[in-house]
Every structure is written in C-alpha cells, then in structure tokens.
Amino acid sequence: MAFILTKPNSTSSLQSVLDGGIIPNNSTLTIDSLGLIETDTIKWIIELIDNTNQKIRSFEILAVNKFDIDVSFNKYGISGESILHDVSIVVNGSNIDLNITNNEAVNLNYKFARIQL
C-alpha cells in the first residue's frame, strides 16, 4: 500500500500552536476568534493544564459554520486527567468565538492549534 502526501491547497490553513495563556479560575475566556467569511469548517486541538494539581486534559473540537447563522460542533478525542471545564462556540457579530469556561478553583493554562478549511 502506498501513501501519497500532498500539500494543502491555498484555501486551507494548517498551523502549529497559535496561542496560549491563562484562564482564571471560575471564569470564561474567548481563546480564539475568526471571521465568519474566513472558513466553513474548523478543527481545534486544545490542551488544558492544571499546574497546581499536575493534571493535563487534551481534546479536539470540530465545528461547522452553518451559513453564517449558527455553528454546530463536536468535542472528541478526549485524553488525560479530568479538569472541570465547558466549551462553547458561538457566532458573535461577524466572528466565530471559541470559549472555554474554567470550572476549577485554580487557574488553568491552555494551548491550542487550529486547522481551517
């Protein structure tokens, strides 16, 4: 069996770690935002880190921009220790926002990467 590796065409974007930071305890933070017209399908790989309790949680989000009206998404590929959090993806004006709510009593560090089509 042979595999052929191809370079993504100009309408897709594969990027390494885009950003990281801190989500304060018991708060919600928009960790990524992009314009509605920029994409139809988005995949995020997210890592949450609780340095206080030495826990890491990784997961993926696959979202579809439904004609600039709504966004449907799925959270999957969940790995690591349990860290209490919620994810929401919302249409906010002309943007799609990825929000993470930290439900822990400690601050969480995060990192993420995005693939968009």
72-93 tens-digit pLDDT: 999 999 999 999 999 999 999 9
109 part of a folded domain = yes
DSSP labels for 22-83?
EE-TTEEEEEEEEEGGG-SEEEEEEEEEETTTTEEEEEEEEEEEETTTEEEEEEEEEEES--
5 part of a folded domain = no
Give the domain extent around 39: 13-116
CATH number for 22:
2.60.40.1680
30 part of a folded domain = yes
97 part of a folded domain = yes
6 part of a folded domain = no
62 part of a folded domain = yes
Indicate yes or no: pTM above 0.75.
yes
Q: Residue 108, Cα to own-chain centre: how many angstroms? A: 15
Average pLDDT, the chain: 87
| Number of domains observed in the structure of the chain | 1
